[in-house]
Structure 1
Amino acid sequence: VGLGFRWFEAPLYVAQGYAEFGVAPWGMQLGWRYALFGFSGHAMFTGIFGALLGLVFQTRRRWLRILAPIVGLALALGAHFWNNALPLLFALAGAAAGEPPPSGHEPPPDVGFLRAFVSGSLSELTTFLPFVVIMTLALWRSGVWERRVIREELAEEVGRTVSPDEYDQVVRDRALRTRRIARMHRRESAALVNAQHELAFRKRRVRDEGEDPEHDRLVAGWREEIRRLRAVA
């Protein structure tokens, strides 16, 4: 959602700059608004809420399931409020120092994309450092949880939907690594790995609901999908 907003927002401000001053500020607008590779601003705001919302599906604690989305929404709103309040704070600081208020009718500076990107990234990183840290920790924790669930739930699938060699890869899996099935085409390998992971997540979801995964139709469906993918490989 946030990235979609960014994709629409950047060209909108370029068009507004051209309509008002006769010059399209491509470099400044695209470089600044895609600072931190586009993962600041609204992408970060919605990402914070999404990360805390995802925690609902990762924990068995009822109080945390209730509190996590509320905290995520509060953090996202707080980050957006901080972003919108900064110009006002700078204006108030300037007025206190005796500086004249900005006219608001000056053309945007002629800044290239790279310069705007670097300066914008440093500014965004400094301004939103606490929120960047929160997102980094949330992503790290989510990755740890996912690998643990896959490792635990696929342990009993060895010889059934996962081969011993494949499970050895599961155990040795780490962050920023994608395991591949030996002697399979890249696309078919990715499909099989994804099906195995979906099977693991579904089994954990069923267990968390107090049910038996062996009686779940989606679990059976993912096992059948894994067998089908092996047959066509």
Structure 2
Amino acid sequence: MGTQRRAPSPRSGRFTGPGAFLVVAALGAFGLFGGLSLLLIGGLNTGLQGLVFGMALGVLPVPVYVSLALWLDRYEKEPGWMLVGAFAWGATVALFFSFVLNTASGITVGLLLGAPAGDFFASVVSAPIVEESMKGLALLILFFWKRDEFDGVVDGVVYAAMVGLGFAMVENFSYYGVALGEGGVAGGAAAFLVRGILTPFNHPLYTAMFGIGLGLARESGRTWVKVVAPVTGLTAAMTLHSLWNATSYLAPGLGGLALMISVLVLPPLAGVVFAVSLSLKREGRIIRENLRPELRSGLISEPEYEALGSVRGRLRSTMRAFFKGLSQWRSQRRFNQAASELAFHRHRAARGLSPPGDEAHYLDDLVRLRGRF
């Protein structure tokens, strides 16, 4: 009799099957086409030297910003392939369609009302609507398709950040390359200072408005919230984007930049941080409420139970495990993740968002990891 294999967890984050392969292949092919097209267009605008310069500066800070975005997801890490997919969508699909539609709208209005009007329309009207719609489409797909991986505001903000960072990274290739051609190294460095250091979170911030709206829709049981919150979030994203572009168009220079950062970046960014902090407290309560059976059974000790429902507690437990060795640290992180997945599954099942019968898989994962330390 062969060894019995454990059934994979329904929330393992894996995307399998023939249909899944075809979807991934199609999106990958289109993403590759879009990415290569954008690089070709960028190269024509900036030249090879400018393109290489722009790509180098565009990629340089991204690992830091991605790490900051992922750090927000303290309780239940999202599957890596979904995070990479969100980033790639922003860098290729969203940016490609945005470029095509914005260019077409600018040319059309320019032919009717003159080139200045076309440029203004493309920047202040078309770009906010098209770009936020294309970036938001990735969130909408994840919201409906992977309901067990989109639990609330935190997930919405994290996915939005990945889409926005991917979009901004490739968009900056051209900006930096053009700045190099027009102003030399000093011009390229100035563009990097403004776009890569002072305002790197604009696109993630705009898209986070929609992510928060979708997160609130997921968290709420009220029908009107499920409709109003996403619409309000997308409207806020487009409005912020439009105001930023209009101000930069009408009030260029350091004074205008300082005004935009102080009014259009810092307050909304503080609002996103506040929304995430409230959502993290909610997630902590969900974990504590849904892990009580394991506390009573002794599978989870009282100190572990308290730590699992607290951001600080989790940080302390993983740090203690780290000083006991890399293997212990990995086991602790996996145990924390398994406990979170079990708790969130129970929460979703109680709301009719996940099949109750899947609980055995999550509990089996937790029991298996319990035996490692």
Identify the TM-score tier after normalising by the shorter chain. Answer: 0.7 to 0.9
Rate the CA distance shift 1:55–1:13 in 2: closer, same or farther, 3 A.
same
Aligned residue among 217, 222, 225 for 2:362: 222
Q: 1:192 aligns with which of 303, 315, 335?
A: 335
- Root-mean-square deviation (CA), in Å? 3.1
Alpha-carbon spacing, 1:144–1:75, altered in 2? closer, same or farther (3 Å): same
2:302 equivalent in structure 1:
164
Q: Within 2, Cα distance between the matches of 1:78 and 1:146? A: 30
Q: Give the corresponding residue for 2:273.
A: 136
Write the distance in 2 (CA, Å) between the matches of 1:129 and 1:22. Answer: 31
Q: Which amino acid aligns with 1:27?
A: A
Amino acid at match of 1:57: R
Residue 20 of structure 1, CA deviation: 3.5
Q: What is the identity percentage for the equivalent residue pairs of Structure 1 and Structure 2? A: 30
Q: Distance in 2 between matches of 1:45 and 1:161?
A: 43
Q: Is the 8 A contact 1:153 1:203 kept in 2?
A: yes
Question: Equivalents in 1 of 2:331, 2:293: separation in Å?
Answer: 23
How far apart, CA to CA, are the structure 1 residues paired with 2:250 and 2:312? 40
Distance 2:353 2:236 in 1: 32
**1:138/1:53 CA distance change after superposition, 3 Å:** same
2:71 matched residue in structure 1: none
Count matched residues. Answer: 203
How far the C-alpha of 1:156 sits from its partner, in A, is 2.2
The amino acid across from 2:365 in the alignment is E
Deviations, residues 165-200 of structure 1 (Å, cap 9, x unaligned): 3113235x2469625266671111111101101111
Cα distance in 1, alignment partners of residues 258 and 170 from structure 2 = 19
Give 1:168-183 correspondences, 5 Å limit.
168-170=306-308, 173-174=310-311, 178-180=315-317
Query: Structure 1 residues 23, 38: CA separation in 2 closer, same or farther (over 3 Å shift)?
Result: closer
**Aligned equivalents of 2:213 and 2:192: distance in 1?**
29
| Structure 1 residue 9, shift from structure 2 partner | 2.4
More helix by share: 2
Q: Compared with structure 1, are the counterparts of its residues 82 and 161 closer, same or farther at alpha carbon in structure 2 (3 Å cutoff)? A: farther
**Which of 203, 219, 228 matches 1:42?**
203
Distance in 2 separating the partners of 1:210 and 1:29: 46
By how many angstroms is 1:125 displaced? 3.6
Which residue of structure 1 aligns with residue 56 of structure 2?
none
1:203 to 1:37, Cα distance in 2 relative to 1, 3 A: farther
**Contact map agreement 1:195 1:222 (CA 8 A) in 2:** yes
Alpha-carbon distance in structure 1 between the residues aligned to 2:242 and 2:276: 23
Cα deviation for residue 19 of structure 1 reads: 2.9
Does the CA contact (< 8 Å) of 1:161 and 1:223 recur in 2?
Answer: no
Q: Is the 8 A contact 1:180 1:193 kept in 2?
A: no
Distance 2:196 2:282 in 1: 30
Which secondary structure does the structure 2 equivalent of 1:38 belong to?
A: coil
Q: Distance in 2 between matches of 1:37 and 1:161?
A: 47
Secondary structure, in 3 states, of the residue corresponding to 2:342? helix
Secondary structure of 2:182's aligned partner:
helix
Say if 2:234 is the partner of 1:73.
Answer: yes
CA shift in 2, pair 1:124/1:145, >3 Å: same
Give yes or no for the alignment of 1:8 onto 2:149.
no
- Structure 2 gaps, min length 5: 1-162
Structure 1's 231 and 175: CA in aligned 2 closer, same or farther, altered over 3 A?
Answer: closer
Counterpart check, 1:27 vs 2:189: yes
Describe the shift of the 1:61–1:162 C-alpha distance in structure 2 as closer, same or farther (beyond 3 A): farther
CA–CA separation in structure 2 for the residues paired with 1:33 and 1:176: 36
Q: Following TM superposition, where does structure 1 have runs of at least 4 consecutive aligned residues deviating by more than 6 angstroms?
A: 119-122
Q: State the AA in 2 paired with 1:4.
A: G
Unaligned runs of 5+ in 1: 92-101, 103-115
